Chain A
Amino acid sequence: MEENFAAVAAKAWEVSGIGLLTVFAVLIGFALLIKLMIRIFPAKEDE
Chain B
Amino acid sequence: MDAVLKFFIDFGPSFIMMIIGGLLIFLAIKKEYEPMLLLPIGFGAILANIPGSSAIGEHGFLTVLYNAGIANELFPILIFIGVGAMIDFGPLLRRPFMLFFGAAAQFGIFATLLAALYLGQLKGILPDAIANIIPQFSLKEAASIGIIGAADGPTSIYVASLFAPRLLGPISVAAYSYMALVPLIQPPVIRLMTSKKERVIRMDRFDEVKVSKTVKILFPIVVTIVAGFVAPISVALIGALMFGNLIRECGVMERLSKSAQNELANLVTLLLGITIGSTMVAKDFLAPSTLFIMVMGLFAFVFDTAGGVMFAKLLNLFLKNKVNPMIGAAGISAFPMSARVIHKMGLEEDPSNYLLMHAVGANVAGQVGSIVAGGVLLALLQ
Give me the interface of A with B, judged by CB distance under 8 Å: 5, 8-9, 11-13, 15-20, 22-24, 26-35, 37-38, 41-44, 47
- Supply 19 further A-B pairs (C-beta < 8 A) apart from A9-B117, A15-B139: A5-B120, A11-B139, A12-B139, A15-B381, A16-B114, A18-B380, A19-B376, A26-B376, A27-B365, A27-B369, A28-B99, A33-B222, A34-B219, A38-B209, A41-B214, A41-B218, A47-B210, A47-B212, A47-B213
Q: Report the Cα distance A17→B92, complex, angstroms.
A: 26
For the complex, give the distance between the alpha carbons of A29 and B111 in Å: 23
Interface membership of chain B positions 87-119, coded 1 if the CB is closer than 8 angstroms to chain A and 0 otherwise: 000001100110110111011011101100110
Query: Is A31 a contact of B99 with CB atoms below 8 Å?
Result: yes
Identify whether the interface residues of A are mostly helix, strand, loop, or mixed: helix
For B214, the chain A residues whose CB sits under 8 A away are: 37, 41
**Contact-residue bracket for chain B:** 35 or more
**0 or 1 for each of B121-158: is its CB under 8 Å from A? (1 = yes):** 10000000000000000110011000000000000000
Q: Is the CB of A16 within 8 A of B110?
A: yes
Interface of B toward A, CB cutoff 8 Å: 92-93, 96-97, 99-100, 102-104, 106-107, 109-111, 113-114, 117-118, 120-121, 138-139, 142-143, 209-215, 218-219, 222-223, 226-227, 230-231, 365, 368-369, 372-373, 376-377, 380-381
Kindly state the separation between the CA atoms of A39 and B140 in the bound complex, as whole angstroms. Answer: 42
Question: Are the CB atoms of B139 and A27 closer together than 8 Å?
Answer: no
Q: Which of A28, A31, A35, A44 lies at the interface centre, i.e. has the most chain B CB atoms within 10 A of its CB?
A: A31
Ranked nearest first, the 5 interchain pairs of A and B with the lowest CB-CB distance are A43-B210, A31-B96, A16-B110, A34-B96, A41-B214
Partner of A22, one of B104, B226, B376: B376
Contact (A37, B219) CB under 8 Å given A15-B377, A20-B110: yes
